[in-house]
Structures are given as C-alpha cells and as structure tokens.
Amino acid sequence: MKTKLSLILGGLLLLSQAAMAQTTTYSVSATVPAGAGVGITVNSVNTATSSFTLVPGTTLNYAPLSFNTTNNVYLANNYFTFDVAVIGAGAPNTIVAYTAGIVPAGAVNTLGSNSSISFDKEVYTSSSTPPTQTPYSGPFVLSSLAGTPQTVPYTAVTGGWTRIYMGLCTGNTSSAAGTVDPAGCHPFSSADAVGTYTGTLSITTAVN
C-alpha cells in the first residue's frame, strides 16, 4: 500500500511541472548605420620600391625629376594614389576634374598633357594580403578631364572603394616595360621649357 501511494504522488509532481513549462520568443535585430561621409587618402608611391608614403594636406609634388639619358626624358621618382572610400557602410560616387595651372614662358606642353590618370575598384581581402584590383577606366591623359570630368558611380565599386592613380608619363609604349602611357601623353624632355608646371585636381564625392 505504501509503494502505490508514492507512485501516485510522483506522478502528480511530474504533471505539475509540465503544466508550468512555457516558451517565449524574442525578436533580435542589428541596424547598420549609413556611412558618415567619404574619406580620401593620398599616398606618394616610390617608383623604384613601390613603397607607399601618406601625403598630409593637399599639396602634391613630383620631386625631384631625374633625367634619363637613354630616352632623353625626365622621370619622376614617385606617382600618387587616391583612395576614395565611405567611412562606414556604402559606396562612394566620385567625380574627378582637372584644371590647368601655370606653365613657364615658352612651354609647349602643360602638366596635364604630360600626366596620366586611371581608375580602379579595390576590394579588401585580409590584413595579410593586398587588396584585389579591377580596372574601371583609363588610363587617360590628365588634361582630358579638364573638359569632361570622369565619373565613377557607386555601382562600379560596390563592395569596395575607388582608387585613382596619377603620374607623369614616361614615354613607354610597351606593356612589357611596365605601365603604358595613354595616347597623346608627352613625357617631359630636354625640349620642354625650364620651370614649374602646375595644375589642380578636384575630387567631388558623395555617399550612396
């Protein structure tokens, strides 16, 4: 008789615990905020070592130029990269224009006609590997952007950012020897007037 009573009480305890069980569901979310703006990072890249040096401010200078006696042209020791990226989520719309500046007396060419510019999409992979690059447009003679600015829409760089390359032309016409100058680009040579050549590059950006 005592054994039967303990079994009945045990069954009542289990039924009581089952009746108290309940399920509660929770909604979980995370909101990624819109990008806070567009940042432009400028680097001077050494042509011999390919090392990047951050450029503070907005003054860019190809200095010094060295004379190549084989081809009778002046070559720069550096070129410039401009990384245009959204600070946060999103992709940048970018418009790049060029305005000619001063030239020395007697000059035939301008800085813009002696320079090239090109545009790539860059995608970050990991901290241990360089970004992957996909050419978007160019290279162009820099002076061609004076009348027709180059637009890089956000759709062209979604998932990454825009990188702009700008440098003086070298007279190279063979891909086997490195970067090929765009048609119509003139390297500085002994025929050019001595003095300082200037121009202005403007980059207009917006977050999509």
Q: Does residue 159 sit within a domain?
A: yes
Q: Does residue 24 sit within a domain?
A: no
Q: Does residue 29 sit within a domain?
A: no
SS3 92: strand
- Rounded average pLDDT over 139-143: 94
60 exposed, middle or buried (CB, 10 Å; 0-12, 13-18, 19+)?
middle
Q: Does residue 14 sit within a domain?
A: no
Number of domains in the chain: 1
Q: What gap in Å lies between CA 129 and CA 61, rounded to an integer?
A: 29
Q: Does residue 1 sit within a domain?
A: no
Q: Does residue 22 sit within a domain?
A: no
Q: Does residue 176 sit within a domain?
A: yes
Amino acid 14: pLDDT = 53
Q: What gap in Å lies between CA 180 and CA 28, rounded to an integer?
A: 54
More confident: 181 or 17: 181
Model confidence at 9, in pLDDT bands (50, 70, 90)? very low
204 forms bridges with which residues in the sheet? 95
- Yes or no: say if 109 and 100 are a contact pair by the CB < 8 Å rule: no
The whole-chain average pLDDT of the chain stands at 88
Structural element, H or E, at residue 115 = strand 115-123
Q: Which domain holds residue 102?
A: 38-207
**pTM of the predicted model, to two decimals?**
0.84
Amino acid 113: pLDDT = 95
Amino acid 157: pLDDT = 95
Q: Does residue 103 sit within a domain?
A: yes
Residue 5 has pLDDT above 50, yes or no: no
